[in-house]
Amino acid sequence: MQILLVEDDPEQLEPLHTALSGAGHNVDGVEDGEMAEWLLSQRDYELLILDWMLPNVSGLSLCRQYRRLNKTAPVLMLTARDTISDKVTGLDAGADDYLVKPVDLIELLARVRALGRRSPLWQGEILRTADLQLSASSLTAQRGQCTVELSSQEFQLLEHLMRHPHQILTRAQIEQALWEWGQEPESNALTALVRRVRQRLQVVGAASWIETIYGMGYRLSPPSEP
pTM of the model: 0.76
| pLDDT score recorded for residue 116 | 81
pLDDT tens-place string over residues 105-158: 999 999 998 888 776 566 667 888 889 999 988 899 999 999 999 998 999 999
Cβ(56)–Cβ(209) under 8 Å?
no
Residue type, 200: R
> What does the buried/exposed string (b/e) look like for 17-46 if buried means 16 or more CB atoms within 10 Å of the residue's CB?
bebbbebbbbbbbbbebebbbebbeeeebb
Cα–Cα distances (Å) from 184 to 35, 79, 205, 214, in that order, read 18, 32, 32, 22
Helix (H) or strand (E) holding 99: strand 97-100
Distance CA 204, CA 132 (A): 8
Quote the DSSP letter at residue 186. Answer: -
Cα–Cα distances (Å) from 45 to 39, 66, 116, 160, 209, in that order, read 10, 11, 12, 12, 25
Distance CA 56, CA 70 (A): 23
Neighbouring-strand partners of residue 149 = 140
Residue type, 167: Q
Ordered alpha helix ranges (H), 164-188? 171-178
> Helix, strand or coil for residue 200?
helix
In the chain, which stretches have pLDDT less than 70? 119-124, 225-226
| pLDDT score recorded for residue 22 | 85
| pLDDT score recorded for residue 123 | 66
